Amino acid sequence: MADGLTPGAADPVSDGRTPAARTPDVLTLTGLSWSVGGSAILSGVDLAVGEGEFVAVIGPNGAGKTSLFNLISGLNRASAGRIFLDGADITTEAPHKRARRGIGRTFQASSVFPTMTVAEHVALAGQVAAKRHALSRAATGADVLERVRLTEKSGALAADLSHGDKRKLELAMLLASGAERLLLLDEPMAGVASGDVPELVDVIRTLHRAEGRTVLMVEHHMEVLLGLADRVAVMHHGALLAIDTPARIMADARVQEAYVGDAL
Ligand SMILES: Nc1ncnc2c1ncn2[C@@H]1O[C@H](COP(=O)(O)OP(=O)(O)OP(=O)(O)O)[C@@H](O)[C@H]1O
């Protein structure tokens, strides 16, 4: 970032984006910091995510990945620095206003209602979108269920779904709620049986590649990221240690160092 304060083109050498692959920024973070009780949890994070880009966020436990998502979605307020969505400064906006702009977020822990059916979840998300006057962006229930490959389970209770299907349902709810600009996915593979991971990866890949969704995703498993991410951002001790293509990140000595004692 040229001056650390305003959104703009990031340095193509340091952020892994080639000029040819560069698209207008959907998300721009400049000097983003968050402290709690005098302790710095995040310090000076600069990050630009282009339209249609998929950026994976990795880092050892406690590196600040979820805290970063909490700031972008508005769950916590930044102590310093700025957050821009499509060039608009949203640093101090409430979470519901950011959602109205098209930011959608999933959490590490699966968040579905056991006694509601799949179709009811999606209908509820659509109603929330309607209340936000986001009807033009919200998709129909049948459409989103097809996009996440849950059509055949539309009448099933959420309690009876596998973890993989619960994750797909969360994605369906994001789409139904009009989260069209930026998907923040916090460890979507967590708790998913290994046999169900490829299908979930494929659903997310389709949202990104075929539908052009811009995605920021926390994920620990490099084998998952290699098939999805355009770039990988590495968090360490609350700072952005490196951001580059997956291949260059895998070969980066600083990244290996950060993961000592932790599998990359
Ligand atoms: N509300 C809070 N108050 C105080 N400390 C916090 C708070 N939220 C997070 N932290 C601390 O901030 C650091 C970063 O936490 P965060 O959950 O963002 O890490 P993470 O990279 O997502 O970790 P993990 O991979 O284990 O999910 C941790 O040391 C955590 O204990």
- Specify whether the CB–CB gap between 176 and 127 falls below 8 A: no
Residue 260 is predicted with a pLDDT of 65
Candidates 104, 150, 153; CA nearest to 128 is 104
Tokens representing residue 250 in the block:
């895998």
Q: Separation of 247 CA from ligand 1 center, angstroms?
A: 27
Ligand 1 centre to CA of 67 (Å) is 6
Out of 3.40.50.300, 3.40.50.2000, 3.40.190.10, 3.30.470.10, the CATH code matching 52-68+94-262 is: 3.40.50.300
pLDDT value at residue 19: 67
Domain borders along the chain are 52-68+94-262
Side chain identity at 5, as an amino acid letter? Answer: L
CA of 242 to the centre of ligand 1 (A): 19
| pLDDT at residue number 262 | 55
Q: Which two tokens stand for residue 211?
A: 């539908």
| Token output for 58 | 């990795």
Q: Give the Cβ contact number of residue 96 at 10 Å.
A: 11
**Half-sphere CA count of 149, side-chain side, radius 13 A:** 14
Q: Tokens standing for 215?
A: 């995605």
| Residue among 33, 67, 105 to mutate when testing ligand 1 (max atoms within 8 A of CB) | 67
Residue 7, both tokens: 């959104």
pLDDT at residue 133, rounded to an integer: 56
Task: Supply angle C-alpha 121, 124, 126, rounded to 5.
Answer: 110
Handedness of CA 183, 189, 192, 196 (dihedral sign): positive
Tell me which residue has tokens 């590490």.
108
52 three-class SS: coil
Whole-angstrom distance, CA of residue 160 vs CA of residue 149: 16
**186-203 pLDDT tens trace:** 999 999 999 999 999 999
Candidates 228, 178, 188, 192; CA nearest to 208 is 228
**Measured between alpha carbons, how far is residue 52 from residues 40, 55, 148, 252 in Å?**
31, 10, 18, 25
**According to the model, what pLDDT value does residue 3 have?**
41
Residue carrying structure tokens 């596998």: 162
Buried b (16+ CB within 10 A) or exposed e, 71-85: bbbbebebeebbbbb
pLDDT of residue 6: 44
Closest of 199, 147, 135 to residue 171, by C-alpha: 147
Task: Verify whether ligand 1 is closer than 6 Å to residue 61 (CB atom).
Answer: yes
- Collect the ranges in the chain with pLDDT lower than 70: 1-14, 19-21, 131-140, 260-264
Kindly give the distance from the C-alpha atom of residue 77 to the centroid of ligand 1, in angstroms, as a whole number.
Answer: 15
